[in-house]
Amino acid sequence: MMSVLLLHGLGGDRRQALSLLPEAYAATRIAPDLPGHGSTDLIPGEPITFAAFAARAASQLDGPVAVAGVSMGAGVALALAAARPDLVTKLILVRPSWLLDTPPPHLEPFLTIARILTTRGVDADAFRATAVYQRIAEQAPAMAQSLLGQFTRPCAVERARVLAEMPFSLPLAGVEAYRKLGGDVTIVAAPQDPVHPEWLAREMRALIPGARLVMVPRKLPDPAEHQAAVREAVVDALEH
């Protein structure tokens, strides 16, 4: 049976990663909670970088696997493939949000949430009052609602450092690192996503030799349609 490493996004947990595959799909799933997420606490002084998270993911593996990651998880997958190509048979990068700029301007919501958590505690109303939230709520209400979930996740205040620091890390050091990847790479993107821009996915596809780009429907008006299309794209990438 195929083994698949599934990697969640910033502020998510293994449940988000597991949702990348249909429940009935036959595969051995490896879905860790990365540091500061889900059931994995942060160790004081632990680095919040793609390299560190990729090393943590590598420690979960006994041999080569397919790797699928969403958002931050896509970045961790890239860092893992660059550091340990012997462990990665193929990459499936769902709605990537990091490329060459740090911090990416479209990740400002996470920096804003981190500031509120560290200065005001769990105050979702303070985030709702910001211009950055109101802009996203107008453009992509489903994404705005997802961002509000950062205030209700376990140990939100204690783990705010993850939201504050990860936007300043990069999965790969620069253009040449992307060009050296090669291999079997599929990028999955959706239009009108202010946190996971379509243009970034297209630029990433242009940088990685042989990479494929699959477009899925945007989250609105039907989030279920979007998620079903993501799962279909992931399964197709695994099987071809």
Nearest to 74 by CA among 206, 166, 176: 166
Q: What was the pLDDT predicted at 44?
A: 87
Question: Please, is 176 exposed, middle or buried when counting C-beta atoms within 10 Å of its C-beta (0-12, 13-18, 19+)?
Answer: exposed
Mean per-residue pLDDT, 34-59: 95
pTM of the model as a whole: 0.97
| Cβ(223)–Cβ(130) below 8 Å | no
- CATH architecture classification, 3-101+169-239: 3-Layer(aba) Sandwich (3.40)
Strands 3-7 and 28-30: parallel
Q: What is the overall mean pLDDT for the chain?
A: 96
pLDDT band, very low/low/confident/very high, at 216 (cuts 50, 70, 90) = very high
Domain boundaries, the chain: 3-101+169-239, 105-151
Candidates 60, 59, 61, 57; CA nearest to 69 is 57
Classified as helix, coil or strand, 29 is strand
Token digits for 85? 């190509």
179: left (phi over 0), alpha (psi -120 to 50) or beta: alpha
Q: Does pLDDT of 182 surpass 90?
A: no
